[in-house]
Structure 1
Amino acid sequence: MILPSGTSVATVKMTILGGGGFRVPLVYEAVVAARERVAVDEVVLHDDDAARLEVMRQVLAQLGGTPRVTATTELTVAVAGADVIFSAIRVGGTAGRTRDEREALAEGLLGQETVGPGGLAYAMRTVPVVDRIAETIAEHAPQAWTISFTNPASIVTEAMRDHLGERVVGICDTPISLVRRALRAVGRDARAFDTGAVEIDYAGLNHLGWLRGLRAAGGGEDLLPGLLADDAALAGLEEARLMGPDWLRTIGALPNEYLYYYDFTREAVAGIAASERTRGEFLLAQQASFYERAAAEPERALELWRAALAEREATYMATERESQDAGERAEEDLGGGYHEVAVDLMAALLGGEEHRMILDVGNAAPDGSPIVAGLPADAVVEVPVRADGAGVRPLAGTSPLEPVMLARVQAVKACERLVIEAARSRSEETAWKAFAFHPLVDSAAVARRLVERYL
């Protein structure tokens, strides 16, 4: 973080779309903690589920803090006059997620929320809704920055950019968490990239990217080869425990942990299929219990939320780690961090700070050339950027993806764009094409059956 001398702290109205969602208190806590950086005076929660909104309002009230918190089911009321809008919606709820997972598993394919056919199905439901949201923001809060947590992040951000342009940015905590783990593993400050002391080479799409370089600012020695050669250092990395150090050395990079689903697809499918419940089914049951109990005992809403959160975070990717004998999740990896990434971005855009981050942005460099060579300039990619009061700009230093990586990224991006087209046109044929050509769908016949059921 760099706060220029004499910079005043901004006063901000913030709207959270999906304001009845389970992880909203994490965002609120991060906002309250950052009040000296960006003074959020008002937090507006928006959701179409009034009961969940009330539960979250109770949780935030018990957390305390200075922002005034209001809740509404009216979208226009929620966004009008907002300075920053956090979009964290889940179209179809967790029940929709469980159906996405089970339909794919029934065909022997990966059943996962954001990756593969489950992610495409989720996008089919979500794109029409975020189109309407983005149109409303463009009309009633054209000056606002929209920070999207909504999955599948690459698809959703690209769809919203058609209406909001560069004033919408997608975020995810997995790439920056990977960078920080790698820095710790080589004995550097975990936030050395954030401060500009270290330069990185990271590129790809959301949940489909690789860290391929890690060097001191100014062109120092690349520290990544030494890390890849060091089994003891790799043992502290979630990605190495999940996919094995030999595979990381073979590809010469540290993959985003979601690459497990692409590189170890059979193992992932077998592990999920053998589980009594999918991740979605676990969360569906857990959240239903939490919201029911919190509504019945509103005075205990915060206590109940904290207990549910601890269980949720401790079991993240548990099936995958178990199937690979990867052990328990490291303490420093618990709790996530997308809410902190979002607040850092907000503090950069509105509070006068400067941050180096990895975000989902358009693929055009300042000179108009593609950041990730081989993808269209208007495609959304996940790359290192600098964010400050002037906006979000890609950092130099992204080298071309090697052919095998680029081929996968190009195939997935093509399917993402087809899904956006299919969701808007309601074309079953376009959706079929999107599913059939995805790297994690191995049969056009299976793809057609999935599309028929999902639609």
Structure 2
Amino acid sequence: MRKITIIGGGGVRAPLLIHGLAQAQALFGIGEVTLFDIDVERTETIARIGREIVRKLGAGFAIRVTSDLEDAATGADFVLSSIRVGGMKARARDERLAIEHGLAGQETTGPAGAAMALRTLPVTLGQAKVVEAVAPDAWFINFSNPAGLITQALTEHTRLKVIGICDTPSEVFHKIAEAVGAPASEMFFDYAGLNHLGWVRRVLLRGEDITERLLADTELLRGLYPADLFDPALIQTLKLIPTEYLFFYYSQRKAYRNQLKAGASRGEELERMNVELFARLAQQTDAEALATYTDYLQQRNASYMKLEAQAGSAFSQNAEQPDPFDAATGYHKIALDLMTGLVSEQSREIVLNVRNRGAIEDLAYEDIVEVPCDVDRNGAKPRLTGRLPESVRGLVTAVKAYEKTSIRAAMEQSRPLAQLAMLEYPIIGQWEWAGEILEALMAADPNGLGGLK
């Protein structure tokens, strides 16, 4: 029987993962899912929801909670890491400081993304070293944001079998397939980039290249995103379909102004939502808690990107949402697809964050890239994608330089290197300004962003 360990088991994604594992129990033969987290009380609440899911689906595996990582990881076949160091409070604080310095506050990009990386990296590496010691043959699947940067650090500084995942590419693939009215399985998406910095370059339907037809349809292009993010003229001029996080590069001022207008960042609104959620869950039966959790996910999903794109509130979205457990895409779907591939003889294609190995010619062999991979029990092999279009090549190489310098800064606990990383980062890109922003982020963080000196 397989053992699955979730690091960050008190996170709100964990029940979605448990649901997927329960549905795939016949394939995986799971004996135990272990939830590791430093917040045991919160994790016990998540475990109650997970056990209710397992009971309803008749999956029959145990769910155990522990705050001892060595215990959690020992004997694990898969370790799924999804942590948020400092919790949602730290995200909200970082995003507010970004706004105060004239930039959009967003979890994985800009100043808040830089702070999240510096705060998360030492903790994740420490946890990975424990896993390496007690479960060296386990697959280590990284969800922790910023996913590409964290996965880069894990591959550089551990010997674990590491793969990073994100649902952003599959979301845009699904939206394109919906717009065309065809199953995604009958389509080919030529995709390349970094995590939260990728583009669809070509789309084929049953072997026919339909890219030009898609680019010519302005209404279709508007409908590909959860909110009104991109001017269709931008997409048509690039001749590339960007994933949603490019909004924070291409329309940084718009995102910032909308956050000012709304009076909050998404992190601040989600912090309030989470406090309310766990207060309600504490008073409810397991069945009631599952229903409340489902409502929470629907509200959270309905509000996605609305604030930054339209100055809308996470609490004002009343649009009908599908059952989040049965959604066509999502982190849990990608994780299950990946895990299924890793126990199968038959190869499957998934967009993942893996070592480049020549896939993108503009980047180094060891760089972590986000590209389509062939996945089977031997691992994930990136498909060759050639050179990036000239219109995005400079942006990608600059962001990769920022990621690598950030890793050096965290490993050496170097404030000057952290400031250099922000200088290299296109969203910031000025030495004195980077220093001011970094000083504010360090002063607000209880541990000075991983103990930078």
Q: Specify whether residues 235 and 280 from structure 1 end up closer, same or farther in structure 2 by C-alpha distance, changes over 3 A only.
A: closer
Q: Distance in 1 between matches of 2:268 and 2:118?
A: 20
**What runs of 5+ residues in structure 1 fail to find an aligned partner?**
1-10, 193-197, 365-369
Alignment partner of 1:31 is 2:21: yes
**Are the structure 2 counterparts of residues 130 and 56 from structure 1 closer, same or farther at C-alpha, using a change threshold of 3 Å?**
same
Match of 1:74 in 2: 68
Change in 2 beyond 3 A, CA 1:99/1:241: closer
Matched, 1:203 2:192: yes
Q: Distance in 2 between matches of 1:265 and 1:176?
A: 24
Q: Determine the structure 1 residue equivalent to 2:448.
A: none
Give the counterpart letter for 1:440 in structure 2: I
Which residue identity lines up with residue 279 of structure 1 in the other structure?
R
Runs (5+) with no aligned partner, structure 2:
443-453
Which of 157-166 and 429-438 deviates more? Answer: 157-166
Identity level (%): 37
Q: 1:276 to 1:332 in 2, by over 3 A?
A: same
Q: Secondary structure at the match of 2:145?
A: coil
TM-score (norm 2): 0.90
1:166, distance to aligned residue in structure 2 (A): 6.6
Point out the more displaced range, 274-283 or 14-23.
Answer: 274-283
Measured in 2, the distance between the counterparts of 1:359 and 1:14 equals 20
- Structure 1 contact 37–351 (Cα < 8 Å) conserved: no
CA distance in 2, matches of 1:313, 1:148: 22
Matched, 1:444 2:431: yes
Q: Does residue 61 of the first structure (1) align with residue 48 of the second (2)?
A: no
Q: Does 1:389 align with 2:389?
A: no
CA contact (8 A) 2:122 2:411 kept: yes
The alpha-carbon distance between structure 1 residues 30 and 440, as it changes in their structure 2 partners (threshold 3 A), is same
Moved over 6 A (4+): 327-330
TM-score scaled by length of structure 1: 0.90
In 2, are the aligned partners of 1:186 and 1:223 still within 8 Å (CA)? Answer: no
Counterpart check, 1:422 vs 2:409: yes
Shift of 1:76: 0.5
1:13 paired with 2:3, answer yes
Asked if the contact 2:10–2:39 (Cα under 8 Å) also holds between the matched residues in 1, the reply is: yes
1:247 aligns with 2:237: no
Q: How many residues align?
A: 430
CA deviation after TM superposition for structure 1 residue 333, in Å:
11
**Aligned to 1:243, what secondary structure does the other structure show?**
coil
CA contact (8 A) 1:185 1:227 kept: no
Residue 92 of structure 1 aligns with an amino acid whose one-letter code is G
Distance 1:331 1:56, change over 3 A: closer
Q: 1:330 to 1:406 in 2, by over 3 A?
A: farther
What's 2:119 paired with? Answer: 125
User: What SS class does the counterpart of residue 229 from structure 2 fall into?
Assistant: helix
Per-residue deviation, residues 59-83 of structure 1 (Å, max 9, x unmatched): 1122223111101000111111100
Residues 269, 292 of structure 1: CA spacing in aligned structure 2 closer, same or farther, 3 A cutoff?
same
Higher relative contact order (CA 8 A, sep 6+): 1
Contact 1:354/1:387, CA 8 A, preserved across alignment? yes
Alignment of 1:157 onto 2:165: no
Question: Alpha-carbon deviation of 1:204?
Answer: 0.7
For residues 227 and 389 of structure 2, what CA distance do their matches in structure 1 show? 21
| 1:415-448 alpha-carbon deviations (Å, 9 max, x no partner) | 1111111111111100011112211115322210
Is 1:49 the equivalent of 2:39? yes
Which residue of structure 2 aligns with residue 408 of structure 1?
395
Deviation at 1:216, TM superposition (A): 5.1
RMSD (CA atoms): 2.1
Q: Find the partner of 1:213 among 202, 220, 223.
A: 202
Aligned-partner SS, 1:36: helix
Q: Tell me which residue corresponds to 1:319.
A: 307
2:326 is aligned with 1:337: no
Distance change (3 Å), C-alpha of 1:205 and 1:294:
same
Instruction: Give the corresponding residue for 2:449.
Output: none
Task: For 2:88, give the aligned amino acid.
Answer: T
